Structure 1
């Protein structure tokens, strides 16, 4: 694309573009002379893509060389100083390749691979390509030179002078050099990116293995144990086993939700949800698994809110916390609906929550009261989705002893579209 844009503009436009491009490069070189700016520019290149300098340097040179029909070493030796500057200060490895040899390499090329300029220009160019990638890169290069439509970009491994393997991304264009096709291109070191990708793949594989283990082993085992508990004649022992099964299965459900939360694309992290549906789903889930008494108070929750699609799991965890750590009194879900926000509170009687536990819920997956604390932390993470907020009110009742614990969450109310408003 860069080549075409240079080929078909006027000479005046070409000079203007040339001046701007060269000016940007000279400014960049100046900035890189200071340590702080050097780090800043380098971070920008790593974060925003390694090919910032590719657009500035090689793309311009390819177009300029092709239009003016420069031959032999004219493109470097007899060109304006600023064109030489582009190649010499480029942040990517720049090269001119023909007939299996490098006719030119820039300093960055030598720096990345550890060979001197003279060594690279004297050696068989294919020696720096990893043996397992060599034939593939040869085919791509041959097809590019003969106009058979190979991609202008590819990834491959190169071998440094020390024998280290680097992953690089190569971009190249065909030019006429010394009366024959040649490849003018450049490359960047993408080893760190490839290592991150491989690490992500390993991590995903490990997560998938853990998911299969949870589904095939843990869940099945808990179901078997729950079945045996039903046949136990000792009521107390049966209740103890069933509570253990309940807490274990809830932990598994939270682990699975944790995985799904991490895999949710950013664009799907917040959705339009009917608050009444979420409340009903959560209450039904907890009532089916415990003997807890749950009361609903406050405004009608039939309103659309913007919240995490896993809001129901957060509410389940808050209800379960109230059931397991409460005094046996009913757990209350209280809703308040305003014009812009809806407030949902889960209130239970029980021991006040220690300040350090409340702090840990905002910091990490800490330990809780007699449990892992994982369910509460997961709930607060879900309640922290964009636009939402949560807080805890906890304190002793007058006279000491038992206290009131209130988990509160505030959600933005979603604007209705015309069809929803008509209903």
Structure 2
């Protein structure tokens, strides 16, 4: 039985306090041992290599992951120099210099942070690692503990990704298609071909809304399609639109696009092909086909007109020749002269028709060239009237009026002569013999205006659209001779003279042709 201590016994109190301190320290040592055991177990089973070395680089801890990563067992590694075990020969000198600098009080470069470097396996293989090193000061001295993570696969994957990106970037930057990435109305990426389509540099292209590069007439369609595509709605693909090049020219592009994510934001990937030449070729083909159809129709009309218009004078010539052949010696001189005059008139008529056909051929083939010369307009009109008067007495019905054209003007006299002869000839031919034909010439500034007005049969409304086509004749001309070439010649001459022609007509009420030509005064 324990003896009770007397009250206020100093020795007893000190003894109790000593026992309490011993128990506390025992518990602390036990807890520390447990913590160390847990720490060692944690490090031993860690998935990454954990290595601890002394200040001179001798290994004092080497876990199982280190064994697997570097190929040395724990027993083989303990006590050996870490530099010899895992530092590649090419890095050992730099590693030793860094350790020496730190131990001498220098600034640490790799401590307490993650760095990427290379390590070496027992087999000699060099691989990439991520290293975290921290110093530990203990009663036994300074040690360094390191977590080492093998990042060779990650680096290889990153290198493969970079190589793949470089390969695809090379492809994208060298394809013949323009490639654009757009979002929120802006261009996020444009390959060199896409930039070349508008003549912009990369900075300029990305600084402006992409809609500004679209031709104004096509902006609504392009923007509407872009917005529908961004909303995920059905939208037309592979359509064409125009862009305005930096040099002011217009180019046709064909687009196909898909919606996708670009840097975490919804965007559109657009593929662009320059189809300007293709559209031009298609347009040229359409014009060629249209021209071919027009030529075919013109040939058909020519055959129809020639078969009719040439038959009449030829019949007159044939019958006149037969009369002379059968009764020539018995015909009075007056009748002989009349028959010969009929032959001459018929030949002149046929010759005139042939000249008009040849004139049309020359105009259509571009053999006529606009060659303006200083010309007195009143004298030119007087010459035309005189020439027509010699050919036909009907020309006496022409009344010419000149206003404001006293000064010489720069014009192509042969073209103007063809215009007047055909317009005045038609006016005489399709109006009664007792009605005048008026020709008025006026000038203002750089323009010369010629008005030819008659009081003839007029032109039906159905014939107006085809009025200037070759070999087209009005539906109301009846038996009035003609080839349907004259107005086509007039239109071609007016176009060559940089002018315009308009017509006003009422069936049975006459016709007025208004010709406006570029003919500036000569100083």
- TM-score band by shorter chain is 0.3 to 0.5
Q: When you count helix as a share of all residues, which structure comes out higher?
A: 1
Whichever of the two has the greater Rg, that structure is 2
TM-score, with length taken from structure 2: 0.36
